[in-house]
Structure 1
Amino acid sequence: MPKMRKKSDLPVKTCAACGRPMVWRKAWEKTWDQVKYCSDACRKGKAEAKPRP
């Protein structure tokens, strides 16, 4: 059985649209280098630029 990794040890990127941090997901395993957006809403450009508290 593979060794488990802590969530804090996973790679992190910043979303190109909203600026939120994204943590690596198993679904993005093969395409992690191409991932730019955290969600479909950001990918479609409908993300609002709100200041984060």
Structure 2
Amino acid sequence: MGMRRKSDLPQKICATCGRPFAWRKKWEKVWDEVRYCSKKCSGQRKMPSK
């Protein structure tokens, strides 16, 4: 398989910041489970209020 353009890669919307992010090689096996664009967003996810 040849090179792909970044615009051709699958995208998702980050659950924390709402920005779109593209597929990455390191997420190849767990792409269905990825919800956040970065570790920072993962750490800042909204916690239920008391």
Give the TM-score category using the shorter length: 0.7 to 0.9
Aligned match of 2:7: 8
TM (norm. structure 1) is 0.76
- Structure 2 length normalisation: TM-score? 0.80
Q: Distance in 1 between matches of 2:27 and 2:9?
A: 12
Choose between structure 1 and 2: higher helix proportion: 2
CA distance in 2, matches of 1:3, 1:40: 30
Q: CA RMSD of the aligned region, Å?
A: 1.6
Structure-to-structure mapping, 1:13-52, within 5 angstroms: 13-45=12-44
Distance 2:38 2:5 in 1: 23
Q: Which stretches in structure 1 are left out of the alignment for 5+ residues?
A: 47-53
User: What letter corresponds to residue 20 of structure 2 in structure 1?
Assistant: P
Give the 4+ runs in structure 1 shifted more than 4 A: none
Give unpaired runs (5+ residues) of structure 2. 46-50
| Count, aligned residues | 46
Matched-pair identity in %: 60
